[in-house]
Structure 1
Amino acid sequence: MFFALFFALSGALLAASPAHAALGGAPMPAPAGASVSILSAASAAAANGNAPAVARAAAQGAASGASAPAAYTVQQTTLASGTVVREYLTQSGTVFAVAWDGPQMPNLATLLGSYFPQYTAGVKASHAAGLVRGPGVVENTNVVVHSGGHMGAFSGQAWLPQALPAGVSGADIQ
């Protein structure tokens, strides 16, 4: 019964309104009815209450005497459902992390792209071992996904540990 619920939830996630990020690839066009804005790393961190990370990065830059460009930008999309999806992009435009929060779960298959099978396998293994009850946490060397919430209030983050820019940690993905 538990696995039937898990697979039903997975199917519901696949049928949810589409998001636009593909982890490890280029950002995709926003779906119909969505609004998109581009934020700098500093403004994204401040908007998400993560200003200490930006202060730390600025201090590191000042200490080195370099005036380097921001390590990443954030493309924020508000879906028609009200869910906000943030794509974290390297300077070359590759999505190295995504975060979401809102009343509906975004389509994780779309958000995670080629990493979605690793996520579902990790969640299934955690459930089989009795470690996790909800949608889940998967942490391995290739991908980290934290997803949770309840009806009307979902949130999560996913990132590629090997692709995080210098000075950026998983805690900075909000």
Structure 2
Amino acid sequence: MLSRVSRAVLMTALGLPCIVPAVQSAHAALGGSPLTPPAGAAVHSQTVSSSAVAHAASGVASAASAPSSYTVRATTYDGGTVVREYLAQDGTVFGLAWSGPQMPDLNALLGTYFPQYLAGVQAVRAARGGHGPVAVEQDSLVVHSGGHMGAFAGQAWLPQALPAGVSGSDIQ
């Protein structure tokens, strides 16, 4: 027999695709290649240099530091939810962020890391109980997710896959 916490986590995981049909399947799988955005979604990409970000924050410029660039690809869904993919130079998704009125399908976003995320959520819920924002912070996966109806936000990243000069706080 499943515990109350296990049932709640399972029902949440199974119910997300049913509750949020307007966001449909997300277009990125953490640790893999970006997927094709759904029809009707607006996509914008920007290349970022991590050393430029670090130097701008510190006010220091150095010709000796080798820049590490990555691409941020933002997709705005019809319902207004924005999912940002953080792509390494080889095209691998190392981070994700989302915000908007509807929760994206975390199963699709997290890909093969989704079971690890569910186990982390279950452990957090068992330790502190209740509902609300969840922070799963493990050596191989970090996911912060929270919000309420009409305003959801979160970030997920793979600490070992972050490019040089990029930290989890850059995933926004």
Q: Normalising by structure 1, report the TM-score.
A: 0.84
Q: Aligned pair 1:169/2:172, yes or no?
A: no
Q: Which residue of 1 aligns with 2:106?
A: 108
Count of residue pairs the alignment pairs up:
164
Once the two structures are TM-superposed, the CA of residue 123 in structure 1 deviates from its matched residue by 0.3
Q: Which residue of 1 aligns with 2:64?
A: 65
Q: For the residues of structure 1 that align with 2:42 and 2:77, how far apart are their CA atoms?
A: 7
Q: Aligned pair 1:142/2:140, yes or no?
A: yes
Once the two structures are TM-superposed, the CA of residue 80 in structure 1 deviates from its matched residue by 1.6
Q: Is the 8 A contact 2:87 2:93 kept in 1?
A: yes
Structure 1 residue runs without a partner (length 5+): 46-50
Cα-to-partner distance string for 1:39-95 (whole Å, 9 max, x where unaligned): 1226xx9xxxxx965614884xx3143574x52110110012210000000011110
Match for 1:163: what amino acid? A
Q: Aligned pair 1:41/2:40, yes or no?
A: no
Once the two structures are TM-superposed, the CA of residue 31 in structure 1 deviates from its matched residue by 1.0
Alpha-carbon distance change, 54 to 120 in structure 1, aligned in 2, over 3 angstroms: farther
Q: Which residue of 1 aligns with 2:10?
A: 7
Q: Is the 8 A contact 2:82 2:98 kept in 1?
A: yes
Once the two structures are TM-superposed, the CA of residue 170 in structure 1 deviates from its matched residue by 0.4
What do you get for the CA RMSD once the two structures are aligned? Answer: 2.4
Match for 2:109: what amino acid? L
Alpha-carbon distance change, 67 to 31 in structure 1, aligned in 2, over 3 angstroms: same
Once the two structures are TM-superposed, the CA of residue 169 in structure 1 deviates from its matched residue by 0.5
Cα-to-partner distance string for 1:119-149 (whole Å, 9 max, x where unaligned): 0000011111226632511110110000000
Match for 1:35: what amino acid? A
Match for 1:155: what amino acid? A
Structure 2 residue runs without a partner (length 5+): none
Q: Normalising by structure 2, report the TM-score.
A: 0.85
Alpha-carbon distance change, 103 to 53 in structure 1, aligned in 2, over 3 angstroms: farther
Q: Percent identity?
A: 55
